[in-house]
Amino acid sequence: MNASVKLIDLVVPATVALKTVVPDAHPSASVLGTERLGSGVLIDPRGLILTVNYVVLGASAVSVFLFDGTTLEGKIAAQDFASGLAVVEISAPGTPALSLCPSKDLQVGQEVFIAAAAAEQRRRVNNGVIASLAPFDAYWEYSLDRAIITTAMNPGLGGGALLDMLGRVAGIVSLDLGEVGRFTMAIPVDAFVEHLPELLRHGRRVTRPPRAWVGLYCYTFQDHVVIAGVLAGAPGERAGLKAGDVVLAVDDHAVSARHELYTHLWSRRPGDLLHFRVLRNNEVKQVAVQSGNAEEFFA
């Protein structure tokens, strides 16, 4: 670890461990489970914690474990479904907090490190460099215009802080990629910084137009988008999309890559009828999907 002991001593007290309980009936429970562990980082002395949304999605109870051994009840203050960030609030005025570093201040090759919870009172750190600041898309209907990909392996639980060598929070760890030289993906803090008043006032981004959502998992293979699965109860399943379907077009827009599919979906609004043309068992089929709203589905 290249970060100095002094820097680590500054950062670690601002990290927290999270434990959430999610009702069995919540739509995310079948995918993410009903008990989840995660990391977070205090970014405001009023007790605001930045973490990744999947840790708290649907939570009926949030326990926050501070580095000094204190356990507090947390509440979800904001969720940004598009970026994947969430804010948890605790009643602990004067807690140690770290400043933020927008991604415009970052460069490929820059040294960074991750500080994350490995258990309630255990913290771990690991270092690396920024490998990429390029756009990123994932197998669920998710993409970022700018993601932080690093050579640092995540030493703990998802939701930990990715920091620059000044101890500023540049991103929140979301995914372990497991690729050589591309071990971890972190969500830049920009979405939180740029929309802080709106997020804290309304608990979400109310000024962003709602976008169509189908509830599918997919991957790109040889210039084709293949559906790997559909979320139970989501619009795609209700309409009859199936795992193994190859998406040829949506609304007569040819699709050859995952980001193309997402771009078209998000140009439509919830409730719009989407016309999928898919290849299934060597036969072309038409599937009409009445799109939904992910935020409402997971509310």
Question: Mean pLDDT, to the nearest integer, of 90-109?
Answer: 92
Segment 214-246, tens digit of pLDDT: 999 999 999 999 999 999 999 999 999 999 999
Q: Report residue 283 CA to chain centroid gap.
A: 36
Percent of the chain with pLDDT over 90: 91
Q: Are 163 and 186 in contact (CB under 8 A)?
A: no
| Structure-token match 């490995």, residue found | 118
Query: What average pLDDT does the chain have?
Result: 95
What is the chain's Cα-based Rg?
20
Segment 157-183, tens digit of pLDDT: 999 999 999 999 999 999 999 888 899
pLDDT of residue 2: 57
pLDDT of residue 93: 84
| Structure-token match 């950062």, residue found | 11
Which 8-state DSSP code applies to residue 14? Answer: G
Say what the pTM is.
0.93
CA–CA separation, 102 and 229 (whole Å): 35
pLDDT of residue 3: 61
Percent of the chain with pLDDT over 70: 99
Q: Helix (H, G, I), strand (E, B), or coil: what is residue 228?
A: strand
Band of the pLDDT at 299, cuts 50, 70, 90? confident
Cβ neighbours of residue 276 closer than 8 Å, sequence gap 6 or more = 239, 241, 245, 247, 249, 250, 286, 287, 288, 289
Q: Are 217 and 228 in contact (CB under 8 A)?
A: yes
Domains recognised in the chain with CATH numbers: 5-96 (2.40.10.10), 103-194 (2.40.10.10), 216-297 (2.30.42.10)
Q: Any bridge partners for residue 65, and if so which?
A: 17, 71
CA–CA separation, 218 and 126 (whole Å): 31
pLDDT of residue 1: 52
| Structure-token match 């372990």, residue found | 176
Question: Mean pLDDT, to the nearest integer, of 127-148?
Answer: 96
Segment 18-56, tens digit of pLDDT: 999 999 999 999 999 999 999 999 999 989 999 999 999
Q: What are phi and psi of 230, to 5 degrees?
A: -130, 140
Segment 252-264, tens digit of pLDDT: 999 999 999 999 9
**Amino acid, single-letter form, for residue 188:** P
